[in-house]
């Protein structure tokens, strides 16, 4: 049975903290989609509650291929071994390393065995909505504009039995059918260096950090607002890398606890006995009249960032974008609810809430906030009883300490 630490939730303390370091910490979030309840129950599940996008984690279920075609004019990928064969080997190692950072996190159902083949593909245009997960280093794409270094495009099914390209039909709602990672191939001012080449190329971005971040999207993560999290929206400065380099002793070292908590939430391990703590509660306004009148039925603060801090270490252990809850058959209710799951038991936590008005804004985490509802405007024929409209995130509130219960 899940341990709840609800008592602590009453101590939403950190408002003073929030006032002067609102930008300091935020939270993991997922790319949420609402199942298509217009479809029969057998393929939609019948509930309009949002479901996070996710990969299947059975043995060998996550295959990736990468395009060995690298740009030469300009050179965007820099390796320490400059021979053609050496470049390929070095890049393959970085990709494998970046994948294993995520698969080595303890107490998740995502395991090294979940990874299928990492294959090579000798064509520049490996990335497309074809049902094959691909990494492309030299594929121009109309989505690139100045300032965009790399991105991941994921395609998720909102019902069972959906295919894209050559993918197998989806067996779960929210299943990712295709995930492609694109690196900007044509910006003469941007290059990416492998870890062994980074120190000699301080103006290059760390390829490993960006790959680990993009693999987070590949697995279903949206952006986090925790400053040191791998899923923070912005890449480390040229010549630097995020967190600590992975080692054989700690292969998940680059990740922050927020990333790990998110992964455990997204890919929970039914046998886990350690990371089963949860903190939940609601963020409510002192004056209910301050809640928006439109859309109707908003009864709590929406879009608050709620953070759990380990009181012993001071570390941010997990956080969430609060403000909604959902019980089947849905839709989402905007009642100020927050839940932070998969925290280690036996620790003491303090919780604070803050508006998304700092380093990370609602625009940076929009998929976690804007895709919670579907209705007849977005989807003709959507049943009224399961329809809702996502309110605008509240970025104007301030918080205050409540007495301990």
Partner 1 sequence: MSYVQRRRFLWALFLLGLGLIAIAASATTLARLQFYQLVKDSSAIARLRCINAQTRLEDREIWTDSVFEVMQFDKGYLPSHILVRTPGGVYQHLHSHVDGVPEFHPGEEVFLFLIGRPGIPFRIVGWTQGTFRIRKNPFTGLETVTQDSAGVPVFDPQTKQFVKTGIKDLRIDLFLEKMNKELHRQAL
Task: Using the minimum distance from each CB to partner 1, give the nearer residue, 223 or 305.
Answer: 223
Q: Which of residues 4-23 bind partner 1 (CB under 8 A)?
A: 11, 13-14, 16-17, 20-21, 23
Quick one: residue 213, left, alpha or beta (phi over 0 = left, psi -120 to 50 = alpha)? alpha
Rounded Cα distance, 388 and 302, in Å: 14
190 forms part of the interface with partner 1 (CB under 8 A)? yes
CB of 390 to partner 1, least distance (A): 9
Angle at 388 between CA 293 and CA 292, to 5 degrees: 15
Tokens representing residue 71 in the block: 């740009």
Residues 257-286 that bind partner 1 (CB under 8 A): none
Instruction: Return the structure tokens found at 292.
Output: 């928006």
Based on the shown chain and the rule CB under 8 A, indicate whether residue 287 belongs to the binding site for partner 1.
no
Determine if 228 is a binding residue for partner 1 (CB under 8 A). Answer: yes
**Interface map 331-350 toward partner 1 (x if CB under 8 A):** -------------------x
168 sits near partner 1 (criterion: CB under 8 A): no
Of the candidate spans 62-70, 144-152, 193-201, 276-284, the one that interacts with partner 1 by CB under 8 A turns out to be: 144-152
CB of 327 to partner 1, least distance (A): 22
DSSP assignments along 42-99, one per residue:
HHH-S--S-EE-B---STT-EEEEEE----BTTB-EE-S--SHHHHHHHHHHHHHHHH
CA Rg value for the chain: 21
Identify the residue among 81, 116, 130, 274 touching partner 1 (CB under 8 A): 130
As a residue count, the chain comes to 405
Which residues in 349-388 contact partner 1 (CB under 8 A)? 350, 357-361, 363-364, 366-367, 370-371, 378
158 binds partner 1 (CB under 8 A): yes
Rank residues 83 and 401 by Cβ distance to partner 1 and give the closer one.
Answer: 401
Angle at which helix 84-103 crosses helix 207-218, to 10 degrees, equals 50
The helix/strand/coil state of 367 is: helix
């Amino acid at each position: 049975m899940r341990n709840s630490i609800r008592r602590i939730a009453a101590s939403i303390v950190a408002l003073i903290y929030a006032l002067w370091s609102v930008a300091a910490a935020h939270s993991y979030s997922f790319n949420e989609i609402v199942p298509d309840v217009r479809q029969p129950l057998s393929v939609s599940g019948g509930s309009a509650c949002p479901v996070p996008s996710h990969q299947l984690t059975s043995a060998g279920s996550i295959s990736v291929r990468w395009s060995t075609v690298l740009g030469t004019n300009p050179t965007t990928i820099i390796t320490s071994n400059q021979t053609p064969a050496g470049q390929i080997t070095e890049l393959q190692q970085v990709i494998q390393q970046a994948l294993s950072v995520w698969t080595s996190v303890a107490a998740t159902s995502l395991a090294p065995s979940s990874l299928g083949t990492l294959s090579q593909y000798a064509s520049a245009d490996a990335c497309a909505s074809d049902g094959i997960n691909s990494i492309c280093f030299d594929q121009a794409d109309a989505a690139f504009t100045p300032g965009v270094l790399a991105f991941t495009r994921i395609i998720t099914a909102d019902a069972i039995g959906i295919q894209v390209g050559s993918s197998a039909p989806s067996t779960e709602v929210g299943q990712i059918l295709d995930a492609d990672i694109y690196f900007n191939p044509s910006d003469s001012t941007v290059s990416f260096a492998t870890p062994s080449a980074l120190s000699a190329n301080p103006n290059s971005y760390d390829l490993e950090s960006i790959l680990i971040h993009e693999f987070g999207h590949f697995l279903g993560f949206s952006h986090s607002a925790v400053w040191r999290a791998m899923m923070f929206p912005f890449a480390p400065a040229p010549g630097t890398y995020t967190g600590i380099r992975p080692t054989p002793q700690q292969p998940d070292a680059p990740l922050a606890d927020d990333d790990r908590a998110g992964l455990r939430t997204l890919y929970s391990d039914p046998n886990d006995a350690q990371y089963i703590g949860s903190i939940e509660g609601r963020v409510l306004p002192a004056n209910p009249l301050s809640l928006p009148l439109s859309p109707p039925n908003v009864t709590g603060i929406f879009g608050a960032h709620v953070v759990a801090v380990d009181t012993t270490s001071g570390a941010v252990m997990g956080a969430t974008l609060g403000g909604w809850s959902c019980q089947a058959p849905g839709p989402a209710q905007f009642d100020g609810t927050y839940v932070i799951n998969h925290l280690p038991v036996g620790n003491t936590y303090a919780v604070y809430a803050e508006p998304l008005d700092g380093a990370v804004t609602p625009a940076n985490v929009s998929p976690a906030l804007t895709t919670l509802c579907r209705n007849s405007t977005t989807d003709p024929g959507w049943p009224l009883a399961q329809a809702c409209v996502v309110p605008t995130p509240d970025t104007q509130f301030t918080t205050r300490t409540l007495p301990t219960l």
